[in-house]
Amino acid sequence: MDLDVAVLAQERLGFSALRPGQEAAVRAVAGGRDTLAVLATGTGKTAIYQLAGLALGGVTVVVSPLVALQRDQLRALSAHPAGVEVAELNASDHAGGRMAREMLTHNRPGFVLLSPEQLTHPDVLELLAASRPRLVAVDEAHLVSEWGEDFRPDYLRLAAAIRAMGRPPVLALTATAAPPVRKQIVHRLEMHDPEVVVGGFDRPNLNLAVFAFADDDTKQRRLLSHVRSSRGPGIVYVGTHRHAEELASDLHTAGVSASAYHAGLSAKERRAVQDSFLGGGCRVVVATIAFGMGIDKPDIRWVSHAEAPSSVDAYYQEIGRAGRDGDAADVELFFRHADLGLNRFFASGGVTDEDLVAVATAVDAQHPASIADLAKAAGLSAARVERALGRLTDARVVAVGHQFRLTTGVDEAVTAAAAVEHDRREVARSRVEMMAAYAEYGGCRREWLLSYFGEQYDGPCGNCDNDLAGRTAAPVEEEPFPIGSRVTHRTFGPGLVEHYDGTTMTVLFDRVGYKELRTAFMIHNQLLQPEASA
């Protein structure tokens, strides 16, 4: 397709220029290729599916957990002289829903928005199957992956829905996805040889710092003092509901306008806190990971973490809410190595063989149509069923459509899913250790973070605690394998070279996750070799 993306962007979106990654992604999709775009918040991911949809014509189906936000972002297209229709598809029969059905039925050009929860309704799936959209865009695509922090089991139905729609090009969009997350997105959406556009992770206006502590009391006093003296609106991320309530109360006593936000509050209470924060009535939110998605407050001046999150992915997603207006913002991690114990505990847990047997048996016997039905048939909680179903799906032994069905026998399904679970635990443990590696790193923190996400950056950045203090990591002795190259380990199998630090190198292995290896030992004993070309 001979497409001038810049002209289309100027004429339809009013853009004077495109941002890095946008044109490459739009061209790939307009050319009919599945595309995964991993671009930082604020770099215009929404514009990618808007431009690709306009270029392709016909209906673009947009799956998003933030339908209201997407609808707002598409209003300008509706108001344009050459406007397109925008409608929300849901199970009700209101005017918007009827318009969406007509658009799909008659392939009228425009954008049909739906939440992943709508994929649980048989009539919605039937309507999508009868339509022939030109593009399916999956926003917040990391939610399809359990390596993201907000896995949505309804996203598991997406691949079947896309197949039923005649397999149009798939555009997956996310702000934060390290290689394990990208791999699972591609796998679960059944993307075909996708173009992967990665970039824009660097946020040079964020001042990165880590404060290390030996005991918890000192850490908590320093955190409280830090937040009290901070300026402008900010967020403190904590690990538990109790800590959120306690710290918010302490801050309030100290004269700071602060509120707690966590999943233990009612939806009405959470909305009140969010609205107060966005409107300026509350200066500080003390939150668990439940707070963040859809928060578009450009003037957040700082984000602090009272404990290390479960992964670098989660950390980068959360600090990305600071400084979206481009002005300087402070990012601090209050780190105590002993705090990692809880994350290590959760990483070592997961799906048991008993849960896999129960779920596989229930699927085979009853072909349930929903998570609730499957949980009842298996005699397990919905959360345990969701995790087990994720493993069975990744092992490609269960088909997720109108109903859940096994594609093989129960014993074979359990064996395959158990192997997937074993590898998942290995990767989960390695992700916890990478969070510790970041906190304890002695070199440029920006360089470390960007290399984790696969973006080349040569520090120092001059805007992190280590650089400003003149601290540097030990000089790299040798780099026998280029960063970003593929290698094979005698025991761990194939992997990707991520980083060098003094005498060690970090490799992300496909099966066992991140490993820090002694570079000279690997070479001397010939344990690591370049991966043979296909």
In a domain, 431, yes or no: no
Residue listed under structure tokens 């998003």: 64
Do 191 and 87 fall within a single domain? yes
The domain boundary residue, chosen from 315, 344, 373 = 344
In a domain, 9, yes or no: yes
% of residues, the chain, pLDDT over 70? 93
pLDDT at 293: 59
**Do β-strands 195-199 and 170-174 pair in parallel, antiparallel, or remain unpaired?**
unpaired
Mapped onto helix, strand or coil, the DSSP state of residue 304 is strand
Do 244 and 166 fall within a single domain? no
Among candidates 167, 151, 62, which has minimal Cα distance to 394?
151
Contacts of 435 (CB under 8 A, 6+ apart): 308, 309, 310, 311, 312, 315, 340, 343
Do 36 and 94 fall within a single domain? yes
Q: What is the DSSP letter of 44?
A: -
Beta partners for residue 110, in sequence order: 59, 85
Report the b/e string of 201-240 with b at 16+ CB within 10 A.
bebeebbbbbbebeeeeebbeebbebbeebeebbbbbbbe
Do 216 and 308 fall within a single domain? yes
Within 10 Å of residue 79's Cβ, how many Cβ atoms?
Answer: 8
Residue 87 is part of a domain; what is its CATH number?
A: 3.40.50.300
In a domain, 429, yes or no: no
Do 231 and 323 fall within a single domain? yes
Residue 380 is part of a domain; what is its CATH number?
A: 1.10.10.10
The domain boundary residue, chosen from 344, 371, 388 = 344
Do 32 and 174 fall within a single domain? yes
CB 371 within 8 A of CB 385: yes
Do 50 and 162 fall within a single domain? yes
Among candidates 129, 335, 95, which has minimal Cα distance to 222?
335
The domain boundary residue, chosen from 344, 376, 407 = 344
The dihedrals phi and psi of 310, each to the nearest 5 degrees, come to: -75, -15
User: Which whole number is the average pLDDT over 162-173?
Assistant: 92
pTM beyond 0.75: the answer is: yes
In a domain, 404, yes or no: yes
Mapped onto helix, strand or coil, the DSSP state of residue 207 is strand
Do 308 and 372 fall within a single domain? no
User: Which whole number is the average pLDDT over 393-412?
Assistant: 89
CB 168 within 8 A of CB 132: yes
311 — pLDDT class (breaks 50, 70, 90): confident
Total number of domains constituting the chain: 4
Sign of CA dihedral 10, 12, 13, 19: negative
pLDDT above 90: residue 378 = yes
Q: What is the pLDDT of residues 403-452, one digit of tens each?
A: 889 999 999 999 999 998 988 888 888 888 899 999 998 889 999 998 88
Distance between CA atoms of residues 492 and 515, nearest Å? 9
Do 65 and 146 fall within a single domain? yes
In a domain, 492, yes or no: yes
% of residues, the chain, pLDDT over 90? 40
Angle at CA 297, nearest 5°, toward 291 and 302?
A: 75
Do 248 and 388 fall within a single domain? no
In a domain, 438, yes or no: no
Do 14 and 97 fall within a single domain? yes
Do 393 and 284 fall within a single domain? no
Q: What is the pLDDT of residues 198-249, one digit of tens each?
A: 877 788 999 999 999 999 999 999 999 999 999 999 999 998 899 999 999 9
In a domain, 183, yes or no: yes
Residue listed under structure tokens 């190595």: 337
Q: What is the pLDDT of residues 4-15, one digit of tens each?
A: 888 888 888 888
State the residue range of the domain holding 158: 5-199
In a domain, 412, yes or no: yes
Sign of CA dihedral 294, 295, 299, 300: negative
